């Protein structure tokens, strides 16, 4: 499950409406062909899993009729916020009262999420792979939206996230 961003939200809206240069809604696959990028790269940006490069931004904006400079400024802002939040997480990890601090942080690393959920990192990575835990990728790093994770746990009604083994 991806985390919505203003950038990806604007991309999705432009694809779904007929205000793009094709004058009709377009699919992710069609957008990828128009931009000259792989389906998977465009899908990740479309879903909010990643923010592409400046060159990719230009191609997406040209294909969708969006303002390149405005969209790139938005992308840069979101990237900056993710990096800032990640540096705050790194600075607080591993010290006393970690769970209390983690419950106040907007983004968690895999290790911090494991500590927060009282699970192993391997279990968290498995849940990420299955799409059980909401996440965002920045560069090669994965960050978990703590508020979305808390909401998912609350909505499950069980107080935990992921699969539970039978009999436990």
- Please state the domain extents for the chain: 6-75, 93-156
- The 10s digit of each residue's pLDDT in 60-110 is 999 998 998 888 888 887 777 666 555 555 554 554 456 566 666 788 888
Q: What was the pLDDT predicted at 38? A: 93
* 93-156 topology per CATH: Arc Repressor Mutant, subunit A (1.10.10)
Q: CB atoms < 10 A from the CB of 155, how many? A: 9
Sorting pLDDT into bands at 50, 70 and 90, what band is 151? Answer: confident
Taking the mean position of all CA atoms in its chain, how far away is CA 115? 20
- The residue ranges of DSSP E strands in the chain, in sequence order, are 107-108, 135-138, 141-145
- Structure tokens belonging to residue 32: 């990828």
Domain 6-75 matches domain 93-156 at the CATH topology level = no
Q: Which two tokens stand for residue 8?
A: 């990806």
Give the architecture (CATH level 2) of 6-75: Orthogonal Bundle (1.10)
pTM for this predicted structure: 0.50
Structure token digits, residue 38: 């792989």
Given a contact cutoff of 8 angstroms between Cβ atoms, the answer to whether 3 and 134 are in contact is: yes
């Amino acid at each position: 499950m991806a985390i919505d961003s203003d950038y990806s939200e604007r991309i999705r809206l432009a694809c779904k409406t007929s205000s793009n240069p094709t004058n009709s809604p377009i699919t992710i696959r069609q957008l990828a062909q128009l931009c000259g990028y792989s389906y998977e790269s465009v899908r990740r940006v479309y879903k909010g899993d990643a923010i592409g490069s400046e060159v990719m931004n230009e191609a997406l904006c040209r294909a969708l009729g969006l303002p390149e400079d405005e969209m790139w400024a938005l992308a840069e802002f979101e990237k900056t916020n993710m990096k800032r939040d990640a540096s705050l997480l790194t600075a607080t990890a591993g010290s006393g009262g970690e769970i209390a601090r983690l419950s106040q942080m907007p983004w968690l690393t895999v290790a911090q999420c494991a500590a927060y959920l009282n699970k192993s990192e391997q279990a968290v990575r498995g849940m990420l792979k299955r799409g059980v835990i909401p996440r965002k990728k920045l560069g090669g790093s994965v960050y978990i939206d703590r508020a979305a994770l808390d909401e998912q746990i609350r909505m499950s009604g069980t107080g935990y996230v992921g699969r539970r083994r039978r009999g436990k």
